Amino acid sequence: MTKTSRVLTTMLALGAWVGAAGPAMATLQIQKQAKEKGYAATNCQFCHVDKLPKKGASTNNERGKFLLDTKAKKNAKEIDVSWLKDYVEKK
């Protein structure tokens, strides 16, 4: 294997790894958007029960369930943080 092909293979592997990490970054993006809009989204437990939720195996708290229900009702592709303005926290 030549040096050029090793470099190319390494770059492709790195690109695939970064690309695979994309969906996991979405939750961090939602958290960042919530913070920017003034919500107290300091960690994953703002919307999840688990401290570090696993993709496909996480449990949502009431806020997270509200966002998922709203996404389904609006037939939206992704969650929109602005929907939180309609969320009423239960006491």
Q: Where do we find the tokens 């092909």? A: 5
Quick one: pLDDT at residue 25? 37
Torsion angle in degrees (nearest 10) through CA of 89, 70, 82, 90: 0
Quick one: pLDDT at residue 22? 38
Decide if pLDDT at 21 tops 80: no
Quick one: pLDDT at residue 11? 64
Q: How confident is the model at residue 23 (pLDDT cuts 50, 70, 90)?
A: very low
Stated pTM of the model: 0.67
DSSP 48: B
Q: 86: which 2 tokens?
A: 């309609």
Q: Where is pLDDT greater, at 88 or 23?
A: 88
Average pLDDT over residues 6-35: 63
